[in-house]
Structure 1
């Protein structure tokens, strides 16, 4: 495997969008139907990932208010992308004058959201700071606070960003394997919920568990702690092939677009853009713009 960080950046963002587009079309279908149903159209997962990238590029780093305003602008232009009820509420509060890092604390009676919305969009953070763990943790957490303030939501985003970073690093070494990847994640998080799931992921990989058991143990729903490590597992179970990883991910059912997007981001960051099937890349909505964002992020390194 050659060292081409530029290809990893492209692979990550294109992979995220491809996984999203595949997932929103494939719920409940068998992998044999992949080619016939893929039309390249993506959801709010990719829409918000684009917003993260746009803001990071514009500011050459993180600016919370700018990123929040970017999310709002993009949402108002295309509100039909499939946004859940939480972000539009937060956007209205921010527009009314509530600070960008305070508005989302009002959700769910003050508990904040622990959904996977902050994790699904965080891939650009993992790329930009793949070689700076502390900066990655800070920015992944901070961007989460715009819409998801519960610890499980923010930590899910941090773990997803770090998984992207690890994938870029693993692509540059022939010595890594699935278990070392999980061990590094275990050392990165102190959250017990995620640590328990990481231990389960190790067990599932060792036994080659069937999909039913994977869903039972790791989850496939919209909560971050029931989907982020599922995406990591999908990548690791199908370490050698991008198409196999995202197809496996979306065939777990549940929140297929987001699990597909997160798996695609990690797998794309590992394999590079050339590993993504050409027919998928060619059909992908706004492919050229997403590629430009990846190029611009890479240029900041």
Structure 2
């Protein structure tokens, strides 16, 4: 979780910049170089954005119901959107357009399970960026796939978006099961290909998997977003280089770094997180409080091996 939050906060000042405008890997810090025209001017260094806030909103909902009550999760998301809950300071400064459309649908009375836009062009990365908490509660791959897809429905209803979330969560679970990162990705691909062979989801899954052949761009498209994060994970050997490389791709820097950072945090562990970044992270006690509840609640026989 802290891998995700740090990656998100680190990427915030660089959002919307092209790869060419971000100078060098070594200069990427919570506070960019003085001459850098940072995004979200006025947002203090170490502030996570919608990525981290929605991930915390999902974690809170899962703590209250491990089967994920979509009404409760939708309420959490709306509390974030309207009141800044799950943010460091109540300031909501970055909201995806597709997510806003879903929130308007919720406000008009549409049920959470069908609120997420689901046309072919409705495949932003807004549900992928937040889905890591699924791995913290799922006790099986079956449950992880189910919850990963379910949490997507509120804002991103298209099958492609749901399957990218499932790929991500299975990859993280593979890492927790002591696979190498590369083996975890391949195992996730193979498991979903076998699961959906001949099913309606197979075409969309193959579209998602074909994204691995494209050059990473760090865009807001869910398929590119997933594979950009995987590229950063597999082409580096530590947490710091992974999230910096994600930001070097430009474009949706906070989200790419959050997605890659969640996996890198899972792979390398808490001790690999740079202390200077962890110390800069604002109001980290918000996450610590939820994680303390998680550890207490799931420290039972048969619970996820993470705890």
- TM-score interval for Structure 1 and Structure 2 normalised by the shorter chain: 0.7 to 0.9
Shift in alpha-carbon separation, 1:112–1:142, aligned structure 2, 3 A: farther
Instruction: List gaps (5 residues or longer) in structure 1.
Output: 1-12, 171-175, 201-215
Cα distance in 2 between the residues matched to 1:169 and 1:178: 10
| Residue in structure 2 matched with residue 297 of structure 1 by the alignment | 294
User: Does the aligned pair in 1 maintain the 2:74–2:154 contact within 8 Å?
Assistant: yes
SS in 2 for 1:279: helix
Q: CA RMSD in A?
A: 1.9
Q: Note if 1:177 corresponds to 2:157.
A: no
Instruction: List gaps (5 residues or longer) in structure 2.
Output: 33-44, 85-90, 194-204
2:211 to 197, 202, 205: 197
Higher helix proportion: 1
Cα distance in 1 between the residues matched to 2:109 and 2:69: 17
Shift of 1:100: 0.6
Q: Note if 1:74 corresponds to 2:80.
A: yes
User: Does the aligned pair in 2 maintain the 1:86–1:147 contact within 8 Å?
Assistant: yes
2:126 to 95, 117, 122: 117
Q: TM-score, normalised by structure 2?
A: 0.80
Higher normalized contact order (CA 8 Å, seq sep 6+, divided by chain length): 1
| Residue in structure 2 matched with residue 208 of structure 1 by the alignment | none
User: Does the aligned pair in 2 maintain the 1:119–1:161 contact within 8 Å?
Assistant: no
| Residue in structure 2 matched with residue 226 of structure 1 by the alignment | 224
User: Does the aligned pair in 2 maintain the 1:47–1:81 contact within 8 Å?
Assistant: no
| Residue in structure 1 matched with residue 148 of structure 2 by the alignment | 140
Query: May I ask how many residue pairs the two structures share in their alignment?
Result: 263
Q: Residues 1-301 of structure 1 correspond to what in structure 2 (within 5 A)?
A: 13-26=1-14, 27=17, 28-35=22-29, 37=31, 39-78=45-84, 80-105=92-117, 110-111=119-120, 113-129=122-138, 131-170=139-178, 176-190=179-193, 191-198=205-212, 200=213, 217-238=215-236, 240-299=237-296, 300=298, 301=303
Q: Deviating runs (4+, > 3 A) in structure 1? A: 176-179
Cα distance in 2 between the residues matched to 1:101 and 1:36: 37
